[in-house]
Each structure stands twice: as structure tokens, then as C-alpha cells.
Amino acid sequence: MVIRVVCIILAVAVPLGWLTWIFVAGAVFLPYFAVVIANAQGPGNVSSKAKTAEAPTISISADAFRRTETPDEK
């Protein structure tokens, strides 16, 4: 980004000519190439085996439930 900022400043500061267009091209294309190169390398520090989440299995026996009486049943 520092090089891009320098290119922008020099593109404005240098009188119009072929050198100005080189600085403009640097300011425009440097970020593009940086993104392309970063994406080509892929994500870093990621293991090849993907981790998946598993839900725990819960089993409750029928004996664990008890029926409570409502006031109408008394």
C-alpha cells in the first residue's frame, strides 16, 4: 500500500507525460496484482482435514419420566 500511495502522489506531482502514466498504472494495477497473488496462494495455516462438529447423542429411558398429578385428578 505504501508503494501505491507513493505512485498516487507522484502521479499528481509529476508534470503530465509518460512518467505520469506509469505512476497511474502502478497505483491502479498494484492492488489488483496483490489480490491475485494472495488468492493464488490460498488460505494459510489450515489443515487439510476439515473438522466437523458432531451433535451428542442423548438417550433417556422411560423410567426417567414420572407423571405428576394435576389438581383436577385428585
Q: Where are the domains of the chain?
A: 1-42
| pLDDT exceeds 90 at position 9 | yes
Q: Count CA within 13 A, CB hemisphere, residue 21.
A: 2
pTM recorded for the entire structure: 0.50
| pLDDT exceeds 80 at position 38 | yes
Confidence at 29, pLDDT banded by 50, 70, 90: very high
10 within 8 A of 23, measured Cβ to Cβ: yes
The predicted structure's pLDDT at residue 51: 77
CA–CA dist 10, 4 (Å, integer)? 10
The predicted structure's pLDDT at residue 40: 85
Distance of CA 66 to the CA centre of its chain: 50
Higher pLDDT, 61 or 73: 61
What is the enclosing helix (H) or strand (E) of 43? Answer: none
